[in-house]
Amino acid sequence: MFVNRPIATGISIACGLLFAACESNPQADESATARIDPLVTTPGAVAPAAGSGAAGAPATAGSISGSATFTIPGSGNIRMLVSITGCTTGKQYPIHIHEGGSCENAMTQGGHWDIPRGEAIPNVSCVNGVGTLTYTRTNADAKTAWSIHNPANNLVGHTVVLHDPDDGTVRVACGVITR
Ligand SMILES: [Cu+2]
């Protein structure tokens, strides 16, 4: 009876039968989330404008905040739901999973997670200052599969990073994925 059930269900059953620790919180493996907060950006930080007298381009506080939620809706694949506010209407925001575990700076955010694992997520489209994305990562390819269980490809502990729609090298918002 269980052979055709999704992997997640199988794991839940195994936990219930075998591991007392799992029983205390049977939902623990079923979802993960990241609170997305704005990043401070320094556009044109390479050099100050000529004649400006400034030490460099002023840092700009980002405006985008929101969340990313990861669930396993029964197929065994992971569904990613992104919801942001403070974005610019009509723009498309690139979003990736980055390697690092903290949003503090570009170094701690790291580069794209286990390339290509953190990539190939559709852009977040902004309409009326609000952006939403619903995306399902099918686990057909081991190189890109996600999980919230398996140490080999567990999303938890990595960062979700949104990039500037006009300059993909600029990071405008970030969140750490937690359970
Ligand atoms: Cu990125």
Confidence of residue 127 (pLDDT cuts 50, 70, 90): very high
Q: How far does the centroid of ligand 1 lie from the alpha carbon of residue 59, in Å?
A: 20
Does residue 110 or residue 16 have the better pLDDT?
110
pLDDT tens digits, 17-46: 444 344 334 444 589 999 999 998 865 544
Q: How far does the centroid of ligand 1 lie from the alpha carbon of residue 133, in Å?
A: 16
Q: How far does the centroid of ligand 1 lie from the alpha carbon of residue 15, in Å?
A: 35
What is the distance between the alpha carbons of residues 78 and 145, in angstroms, rounded to a whole number?
9
Structural domain contains residue 25: no
Structural domain contains residue 125: yes
Which CATH number fits the domain that encloses residue 78?
2.60.40.200
Structural domain contains residue 69: yes
DSSP 20-57: HHHHH-TTTTSEEEEEEEE-EE-TTTTSPPTT---SSP
pLDDT reading at 48 higher than 60: no
Structural domain contains residue 15: no
The mean pLDDT of 42-60, rounded to a whole number, is 54
pLDDT reading at 53 higher than 50: no
The mean pLDDT of 50-57, rounded to a whole number, is 49
- pTM comes to 0.77
Q: How far does the centroid of ligand 1 lie from the alpha carbon of residue 95, in Å?
A: 6
- 8 A C-beta contact, residue 33 and residue 177: yes
pLDDT at 76: 79
